[in-house]
């Protein structure tokens, strides 16, 4: 199909060109009256390509090209995508780059705002509903009920004493020595619902307020007991009386984690997704600036080369196919 199409073009284009010069061809076939006094006349069978009027550049475009520079077009679009295309009078490209810019800016700002708000709400939620004191109390009972040996557990028990979680970060963090808590965690094995002991805890609690702190308490089951609704949740699923000890084991599938744990995990996942999406549109913004700048540069250069080629043509002084009578 493509071969037939290009074959047709191959034959039709010469016919069209010859058709345009039909008048000259007819004159050649008609009788010629020789006039010795007449000035020689030139007959062009086909107008040379360089002599044909170029439809590409208008007077305004020529003026803009003569007065501008490739560097100006490049820098213009680098700062404002589409502006260099306007200088080059390629309007559809200018509209395209402007549209990409406006859309990317809007979506970047919108997703970044959602991420910032989501992260703020997440941190507020964790501050109000996770307590290092409750977690420490659970660790002490975890060792007692499961009969675990730990060289630092007595120090933690003494430090906690009869303290109860207030879910006020300023008060609770004044009670717990973070270094002692970490020493306990390093020597604490996982006791799981399948009755198998495993390796020691995989993490130690980071400093309060750090990014890793907020990430870990809503990601690892090791920290599930620090959530405000942990004990209420286990009461509701029947871990009371003879089943009370069930709240001091860890289920590998997370079925013993309370709803607040999963609420925080969803909030963290959402604002992190919003951050990633905003960064994607930031990358598109940067790419749009660079693509627009290079497109403006090369388009200007191409038009400048065409203008220089056209300007170098002196009508009547170029290669011609001439019959003289």
**Overall average pLDDT of the 256-284 stretch:** 97
Among 261, 251, 280, 234, CA closest to 126: 261
Return the pLDDT at 295. 84
CA separation (Å) from 278 to 111, 114, 198, 212? 5, 9, 40, 21
Confidence of residue 60 (pLDDT cuts 50, 70, 90): low
| Residues of the chain above pLDDT 70, percent | 71
Distance set, CA 266 to CA 118, 125, 184, 259, 272 (Å): 10, 12, 29, 11, 10
Q: Tens digits of per-residue pLDDT, 70-85? A: 677 788 778 888 888 7
pLDDT of 88 over the 70 cut: yes
Does the pLDDT of residue 15 top 60, yes or no?
A: no
Q: Would you say residue 20 has pLDDT above 70?
A: no
Q: Which has the higher per-residue pLDDT, 41 or 76?
A: 76
Asked if residue 161 lies in contact with residue 177, where contact means CB atoms within 8 angstroms, the answer is no
Residue 80 pLDDT: 86
Most confident range, picked from 8-22, 88-102, 258-272? 258-272
Average pLDDT over residues 36-65: 48
Confidence tier at 297 by pLDDT (50, 70, 90) = confident
pLDDT reading at 323 higher than 50: no
Q: Between the ranges 86-100, 110-124, 305-319, where is the mean pLDDT highest?
A: 110-124
How far is the C-alpha of 61 from the C-alpha of 305, rounded, in Å? 13
pLDDT of residue 151: 94
Largest Cα–Cα separation, the chain = 132
Angle between helices 132-146 and 178-186 (to 10 degrees): 30
Of 29-43, 219-233, 252-266, minimum mean pLDDT range: 29-43
Contact of 163 with 133, CB cutoff 8 Å? yes
């Amino acid at each position: 199909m493509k071969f037939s199409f290009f074959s047709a073009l191959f034959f039709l284009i010469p016919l069209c060109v010859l058709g345009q010069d039909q008048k000259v061809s007819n004159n050649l076939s008609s009788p010629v009256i020789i006039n010795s006094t007449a000035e020689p006349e030139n007959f062009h069978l086909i107008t040379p390509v360089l002599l044909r009027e170029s439809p590409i550049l208008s007077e305004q475009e020529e003026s803009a090209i003569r007065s501008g520079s490739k560097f100006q077009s490049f820098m213009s679009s680098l700062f404002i995508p589409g502006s260099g295309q306007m200088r080059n009078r390629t309007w559809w490209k200018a509209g395209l780059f402007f549209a990409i810019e406006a859309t990317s800016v809007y979506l970047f700002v919108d997703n970044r705002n959602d991420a910032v708000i989501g992260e703020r709400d997440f941190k507020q939620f964790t501050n109000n509903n996770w307590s290092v004191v409750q977690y420490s109390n659970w660790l002490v009972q975890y060792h007692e009920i499961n009969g675990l040996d730990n060289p630092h557990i007595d120090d933690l028990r003494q430090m906690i004493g009869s303290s109860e979680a207030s879910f006020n970060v300023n008060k609770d963090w004044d009670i717990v020595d973070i270094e002692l808590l970490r020493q306990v965690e390093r020597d604490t094995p996982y006791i799981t619902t399948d009755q198998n002991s495993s390796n020691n805890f995989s993490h130690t609690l980071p400093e309060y307020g750090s990014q890793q702190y907020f990430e870990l308490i809503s990601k690892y089951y090791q920290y599930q007991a620090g959530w405000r609704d942990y004990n209420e949740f286990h009461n509701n699923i029947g871990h009371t009386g003879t089943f009370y000890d069930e709240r001091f084991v860890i289920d590998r599938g997370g079925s013993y984690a309370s709803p607040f744990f999963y609420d925080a995990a969803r909030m963290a996942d959402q604002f992190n997704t919003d951050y990633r999406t905003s960064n994607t549109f930031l990358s598109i913004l940067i790419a749009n600036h660079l693509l627009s700048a290079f497109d403006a540069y090369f388009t200007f250069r191409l038009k400048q080369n065409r203008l220089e080629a056209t300007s170098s043509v002196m009508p009547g002084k170029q290669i011609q196919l001439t019959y003289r009578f």
